[in-house]
Amino acid sequence: MSTGSRLPKLIAFDLDYTLWDFWIDFHIIPPILQDPATGTVYDSSTSDIYYGRRSSPNTIEFYRDVPGILRNLRNEGVTVAACSRTPVPKLAMEALRLMRIPDSKDTDILACNGSNDTPSWTTTTTPAVNFFDQLEIYPTDKTVHFKALHKKTGLPYSEMLFFDDERRNRNVEKLGVTFILVPEGRGMDSELFEKGLKEWRRRHPELMSSGGSEN
């Protein structure tokens, strides 16, 4: 993340094919389970709708760069939101409650050293849901999600940056939200995140100079 540069006060992310690489209503079979030894989260399916039988359930995890992005945003005090139109909000919420984010980028290295004093994942990770300040997860137009965010946080739309993999959700820009399309098959990564920050700053030079915002 760029250091010493102005950040939006609220950054929002879609879930499916933005933070994780599946449609949770289509690919994930409940109930969602968690390995007590490793903290790995997985579904109850051993079949794949495209490729037939699988030897193991579907693992539920974020794209590689997502944990670091969320961790940095929390450290910077940015309001983080999830905005998803999934028809299975309870399942999505359960996934976020069970998924864990390492407390530092070194946690995975510690977990692999094989020693008996390796810290448990329960003490070196935090539930992913704790990294989100606002959760707008229900089937509706994304403009409804952002109107709700505006009402709950009191933040102007000009202070909002949104990453999503569906072009139709660009309609949030009519509210004043900066929309960044997540390319198909890519998912959220650090390079795309920095591109989004750069675009938001380009659109709002008045916020860069004043450090404030207007409704």
Is the per-residue pLDDT at 196 higher than 50?
yes
**Is 35 designated active site?**
no
Q: Is the dihedral of CA 161, 105, 184, 39 positive or negative?
A: negative
User: Are the beta carbons of 88 and 31 closer than 8 angstroms?
Assistant: no
Q: Which amino acid is at 166?
A: E
The pLDDT of residue 51 is 54
Please indicate whether residue 181 or residue 45 has the higher confidence score (pLDDT). Answer: 181
Q: What does pLDDT average to over the chain? A: 89
Beta-bridge partner residues of 62: 20
List, as own/partner pairs, every contact residues 198-206 make where C-beta atoms lie below 8 angstroms and the sequence separation is at least 24, other chains included.
200/8, 200/161, 201/5, 201/6, 203/178, 204/158, 204/178
The pLDDT of residue 56 is 75
Closest CA to 21 of 52, 50, 64: 64
pLDDT-based confidence at residue 105 (cuts at 50, 70, 90): confident
CA gap 57, 48 in Å, rounded: 9
**Is 16 designated active site?**
yes
Please indicate whether residue 47 or residue 21 has the higher confidence score (pLDDT). Answer: 21
The pLDDT of residue 112 is 41
Report the range of poorest mean pLDDT among 91-95, 145-149, 187-191, 207-211: 207-211
For the segment 38-65, the average pLDDT, to the nearest whole number, is 79
For the segment 142-149, the average pLDDT, to the nearest whole number, is 98
The pLDDT of residue 193 is 98
- % of the chain beyond a pLDDT of 70: 84
Please indicate whether residue 82 or residue 114 has the higher confidence score (pLDDT). Answer: 82
Catalytic residue of the set 16, 43, 164, 165? 16
The pLDDT of residue 15 is 98
User: Are the beta carbons of 13 and 28 closer than 8 angstroms?
Assistant: no
The pLDDT of residue 106 is 63
For the segment 49-64, the average pLDDT, to the nearest whole number, is 76
Report the b/e string of 80-96 with b at 16+ CB within 10 A: bbbbbbbebbebbbbbb
Is the per-residue pLDDT at 93 higher than 50?
yes
- % of the chain beyond a pLDDT of 90: 77
Catalytic residue of the set 14, 43, 164, 165? 14
For the segment 55-63, the average pLDDT, to the nearest whole number, is 88
Beta-bridge partner residues of 8: none
Task: List the alpha helices (DSSP H) in the chain.
Answer: 24-27, 66-76, 89-98, 107-111, 121-124, 142-153, 190-203, 205-210
